[in-house]
Amino acid sequence: MKQHSVREAWLEDAVRHLEPVFSKAGYAIPPVRVSCGFPASSSPRTTLGQCWPRERSGGGVNEIFISPKIDDPVQLLDTLVHELCHAVDDCFSGHGEDFKGIAQTVGLEGPARMAHATEELIVRLMMISQELGPYPHQAINFPPPRPSNASRSKAKCGQCGYEVTLLKKWASYGAPICPKDNIRMQEDVLETIENTEEHDSDSVAKGGKVAPDQIRRAIS
């Protein structure tokens, strides 16, 4: 069993161990750099990996970042396979059909944005993780999201049901007049709006097609 003292060394070695998985599927892993780091333009709480296209790298290679939130070797390898599929595609199709084809061929399943290893591939990743040895990193644990300071009041017409949201700075003036029934609306109880997070960042437009201005962005 190997002993790596640096996270990036473990990740780079992991890429070498995954090369047979891709070559068996008919794909060659392009030159990549893999680092432990938070994704850009995406929620660091929920996004586990991100791949940048070659044209965005000063070295002309695909730059992959694996979140420091995870330290389980098999989960790391699973995430790395997903990002390497983006590298093979050079992020051209986002999570579109070309990516799906690569991902399914190498052994991923599920919705494209959350494509993960099949049971068969998981067994292979477990064997690879044993060869790689411990991942020299302890996961960063995020505190639970805090409620936003912003609170919203709502006012509703008792007759027609017309409803509006009151900004906090105007709420002290009272509820407005319904534009339809010309009566004062009734103010509802304050509703606290909690911070929300995206599960994943996506550069693919609806329908699986890539928007022209988004083709060369990082893909998670």
Beta bridge partners of 33: 63
Note whether 205 and 122 are same-domain residues: yes
Query: For residue 220, is it within any domain?
Result: no
Residue 146's pLDDT is 67
**Taking 50 as the threshold, does the pLDDT of residue 215 lie above it?**
no
Asked if residue 158 and residue 121 are part of one domain, the reply reads no
64 and 120 within one domain? yes
Is 90 in the same domain as 133? yes
- Domain for residue 175, yes or no? yes
163 and 126, same domain (yes or no):
no
**What are the beta bridge partners of residue 152?**
191
Task: Indicate whether 87 and 167 sit together in one domain.
Answer: no
**pLDDT tens figures, 122-162:** 999 999 999 999 999 999 888 877 655 445 678 888 888 88
77 and 27 in a common domain: yes
Look at residue 98 and tell me whether its pLDDT is greater than 50: yes
Residue 1 lies in a domain: no
| Residue 33 clears pLDDT 90, i.e. is over it | yes
Q: What does the block give as tokens for 126? A: 């477990």
pLDDT at 103 over 90: yes
Distance between CA 24 and CA 107 in Å, rounded? 11
Mean pLDDT of 87-98: 95
Mean pLDDT of all residues in 11-40 = 95
Better-predicted residue by pLDDT, 97 or 197: 97
C-beta atoms surrounding 98 within 10 Å? 16
Supply 155's token pair.
């006012």
Domain ranges, residue 179: 147-194
**Residues 60 and 113 placed together within one structural domain of the fold:** yes
Same domain, 121 and 156: no
Q: Judge if 26 and 83 occupy the same domain.
A: yes
Same domain, 22 and 100: yes
pLDDT at 167: 78
Same domain, yes or no: 116 and 174: no
| Number of structural domains the chain divides into | 2
Three-state SS for 136-192 is CCCCCCCCCCCEEEEEEEEEECCCCCCEEEECHHHHCCCCCECCCCCCECEECCCEE
pLDDT at 5 over 80: yes
pTM for this entry: 0.69
The answer to whether the CB of 202 falls within 8 A of the CB of 43 is no
The per-residue pLDDT for range 158-209, each reduced to its tens digit, is 888 888 888 777 777 888 999 988 999 888 754 433 333 333 433 332 233 3
Quote the CA–CA distance of 90 and 31 in Å, as a whole number.
11
pLDDT digits (tens, 9 = 90+) for 41-71: 667 888 899 999 999 999 999 999 999 999 9
